[in-house]
Amino acid sequence: MDKKITIAIDGFSSTGKSTVAKRLAKELGYVYVDTGAMYRAVTLYMMRKVFVSEGNFDKEAIVRHLPFISLRFEFDEDLGYGHMFLNDENVEKEIRYMEVSQQVSKVSAISEVRKMLVEQQQEMGKSKGVVMDGRDIGTVVFPDAELKLFMTASTEKRAQRRYDELKGRGDDVNFDEVLQNVKDRDYMDSTREDSPLIMAEDAIEFDNSSMGLDDQFEEVLKIARDKIAEVNS
């Protein structure tokens, strides 16, 4: 039986990391972990407590309430990946709202939040055979991952993808708002003190600005299979 590897997929928001990671995990028979969903779930909890809003950010209260948060993924056989559960509530839809997107970078910049979630992510992936996507998987969560990919695309292209996704879901958004959100998240993710978004030295940079989802997936799948073959040779 082939040895399984750890696949870390990092990159900017709206580069299609999760979409590719889900398909890749399903094709390889690996476990998929959406770390972004974990940060979004924590953010949703804090927004519901009104510790985080457009004009309010109570860091002390956020840290104080972390012990009251329970996160888990419940696997969906048909989809091939898990839905995010926050304190036993399926919040997969709610965590994707634009309001959460506007606050998640601020919450995820808190060291105590990152420490809690990184520990959970490392536990999820310790048996290998995992595809995990996020912002610091190859640099912090799994610095020894056998395969690291860093996804990127132009700001405008990423904003258009995000806008199309939100409109397709029925959300009332405008393109300029989405574009500004992408720019804001890029800045916050790249400049935060704790685990900023940077490309690992041994990561493969993957610019998908001009690629469709299928072409992107096929190329990533080839890279993954080549690495698995190399590890098992």
Residues at the annotated binding site? 11-19
Contacts of 205 (CB under 8 A, 6+ apart): 150, 152, 199
Contact 92, 143 (CB under 8 A): no
Bridge-based pairing state of the strands 147-152 and 6-11? parallel
Nearest Cα to Cα of residue 179 among 198, 152, 161, 206: 161
| Beta-bridge partner residues of 56 | 53
Which residue positions form the known binding site for ATP? 11-19
The Cβ of residue 17 has, within 10 Å, a number of other Cβ atoms equal to 26
Question: In what order do the strands lie in the sheet containing 71-76?
Answer: 71-76, 81-86, 89-90
Can you tell me the distance from the alpha carbon of 113 to that of 107, in angstroms, rounded to the nearest whole number? 7
